[in-house]
Amino acid sequence: MAKAVRTENRKFLLLDANVVAGYYLPEALSSTKARDPIKIIIESVSNLGRPDIFLYIPSLCIPEVFSVFAKYHLATWDNHIKKVLPRGLTKNKYQKIRKQFRDDIRNGALLQPVELTQYHIQATNLISPVDANFEHYRTRSNKKKRRPKKMMGAADHTIIGMGIQLSKIHGRDNFAIVTADNRLADILTKATSVNRNTAKRIGLIETANELDLDYGPNIYPDVINLAKITKGELAAFFQAWPLPASPPTGKPLSKLTLSDAKLLSDLRKKRHIGRDRLPYTQDFEIICHEFERLKGHLVDRHAVWTTLSNYEKNPKKKKKKSKK
């Protein structure tokens, strides 16, 4: 099998149905914490704030998203809908979000559908045995209330199977599955910690070999669980958080923060060029443009140089402790 070609300097996200439906209809996303992050991500991409982020949606999730819209419009008898959206989804809003979603997936305008392949089906054998073998997501803290001992559905296994291939193509550091499903996220994370003896017993190593993968934790994609993730973790993955809502505009920034300085330093190191060689070079401009893209603000070049220079001469400098 030919080796996959990696693409650099981009982020690729595979969106689960729950966060996609929750973007168009926030009330449908049970995790209120996840509502703002998915809105920030999708609107930043849509408005070209972060054109380097590419959004995938599993094709099998598309009818699921449409069914969520229909449920909130028509199943007004449902007790959950009565609670979160007492008047239901009006006809006008229902038609509007259906059309918007349809437009966004047409020809990959915003969300690129990923069609199911034989590779994805085979890759489910790297997650379904983990899901079946471990009672990893079963009991609540309250012993009187227990989760049913139920595995994930085939759709969730398939989403992870797609993620395994996309992670291989784009590189694990550049790719993640985005969800608000705690069980999917937890079991996928569990898969990265299975010891080799167990992996051999339940067939993971054999399946990995069949898929031209060198078995280990890195064959599994990263997962961003918007129901639990912190702003710091989002910033670590995207290099800045929140994501810019539009391309860089306005007056160039002349005052930069400590986090800005760290980002500039990381960008310099990524280009493997010494600090003293930066002034008046194309590399310096590339770093500035990359910073502007990530932060969504134009930046003064003199401020970049002085901030970067001061930070790297004393990167461990701590902020003054506030008086108690």
| Domain ranges within the chain, ordered by starting residue | 11-141+150-238, 249-313
Q: What is the distance of C-alpha 265 from the center of its chain?
A: 24
Q: Which pLDDT value is given to residue 138?
A: 58
Q: How big, in percent rounded to 5, are the helix, strand and coil portions of the chain?
A: 55, 10, 35
What distances in angstroms separate CA 118 from CA 36, 121, 124, 162, 226, one per listed residue? Answer: 35, 5, 10, 10, 29
Contacts of 145 (CB under 8 A, 6+ apart): none
pTM (predicted TM-score)? 0.81
Which residues are CB-neighbours of 132 under 8 A, at least 6 positions away?
Answer: 151
How many whole angstroms separate alpha carbon 186 and alpha carbon 194?
13
Query: What per-residue confidence (pLDDT) applies to 136?
Result: 67
Instruction: Tell me which residue of 128, 110, 132 sits closest to 120, measured CA to CA.
Output: 128
d(CA 162, CA 222) in angstroms, rounded, equals: 12
- Determine whether domain 11-141+150-238 maps to CATH 3.40.50.10470: no
Strands 175-179 and 222-225: parallel
Run of H or E including 252 = strand 249-253
- Compute the distance between CA of residue 172 and CA of residue 239 in angstroms, rounded to an integer: 15
Q: List the chain pLDDT tens, one digit each, 324 residues.
A: 333 334 445 899 999 999 999 999 999 999 999 999 999 999 999 999 998 999 999 999 999 999 999 999 999 899 999 999 988 899 999 999 999 999 999 999 999 999 999 999 999 999 999 999 987 665 555 555 555 567 899 999 999 999 999 999 999 999 999 999 999 999 999 999 999 999 999 999 999 999 999 999 999 999 999 999 999 999 999 988 999 998 887 788 889 999 899 999 999 998 888 888 888 788 898 899 888 888 888 999 999 999 999 998 876 654 444 444
Residues 6+ apart with CB under 8 A from 34: 19, 22, 180, 226, 227
Query: What pLDDT was estimated at residue 150?
Result: 79
Pairing of β 249-253 and β 175-179: unpaired
Q: What is the CA radius of gyration of the chain?
A: 22
Q: Which residue(s) pair with 175 in the sheet?
A: 12
pLDDT at 251 (0 to 100): 85
Running DSSP on this structure, what letter comes out for residue 178?
E
Q: Residue 75, Cβ neighbours under 10 Å: how many? A: 13
